[in-house]
Structure 1
Amino acid sequence: MNNPFSGGFLDRLKGKGTGTDKIDESKLRSLASQVKKSDFEDETKLRQIIKTLAAMSGKQLTAEKEDKIIEMFYNQEINIHDMSSLTKLLK
């Protein structure tokens, strides 16, 4: 399987939060296993992935921030093989 999420990215997301707001590893792995590289080329799917990751990390995204993240993907400022840029945006 060619998963666009690096193990380091999954580990960083998994480590977010404390106590009950930590991201559920099984949900995170489930999402990662469902994502295909082509999903990053479909704006609707990309928005859903971003919303799902934000919800998993307990963050609310404004429409403006979501648009900025989408723009960053299209401008290749976020590498799908190293998602640390997206992780920083979700802090």
Structure 2
Amino acid sequence: MNSNFSRRFMDSLKSKAVEHVDESKLRSLASTVKKSDFEDETKLRQMIQSLAAMSGKTLTPEKEDKIIQMFRDKEINLSDLSSLGKLLK
């Protein structure tokens, strides 16, 4: 995995998506993510579910579907994950 992408992804998640998350768990997740994972619905769902669990949030199937659709429609920018962070709050 591209370490620059992993670092940017980790920094975005840490600062915008979740507030009270174990940083080591977040780093572990970020280190496994590939840019192509955002195009694979199964992997994307797993990642969203993991983030929600780490942040102590419960996602309804509808909200999860909305997040998936936002990635498909490119409403969530991988360089700025603040829109994803708002959905997880």
TM-score by length of 2: 0.87
For residues 77 and 13 of structure 1, the distance between their equivalents in structure 2, rounded to whole angstroms, comes to 15
Matched, 1:55 2:82: no
Q: Which runs of 5+ in 2 are unaligned?
A: none
Aligned length: 85
Greater RCO between the two (CA within 8 Å, min separation 6)? 2
Q: Which has the higher helix share?
A: 2
Identical-pair percentage: 65
Cα 1:88–1:74, aligned 2, differ >3 Å: closer, same or farther?
A: same
- Give the conservation status (yes or no) of the 8 Å contact 2:17–2:88: no
- Return the match for 2:76 from 58, 70, 78: 78
Matched, 1:87 2:85: yes
Q: Which amino acid aligns with 2:75?
A: E
Q: Which amino acid aligns with 2:9?
A: F
Give runs of ≥4 in structure 1 deviating > 2 Å.
11-14
- Give the conservation status (yes or no) of the 8 Å contact 1:40–1:46: yes
SS in structure 2 at match of 1:48: helix
For residues 33 and 25 of structure 1, the distance between their equivalents in structure 2, rounded to whole angstroms, comes to 12
Q: Which runs of 5+ in 1 are unaligned?
A: 17-21
- Give the conservation status (yes or no) of the 8 Å contact 1:6–1:83: no
Give the structure with higher Rg (CA).
1
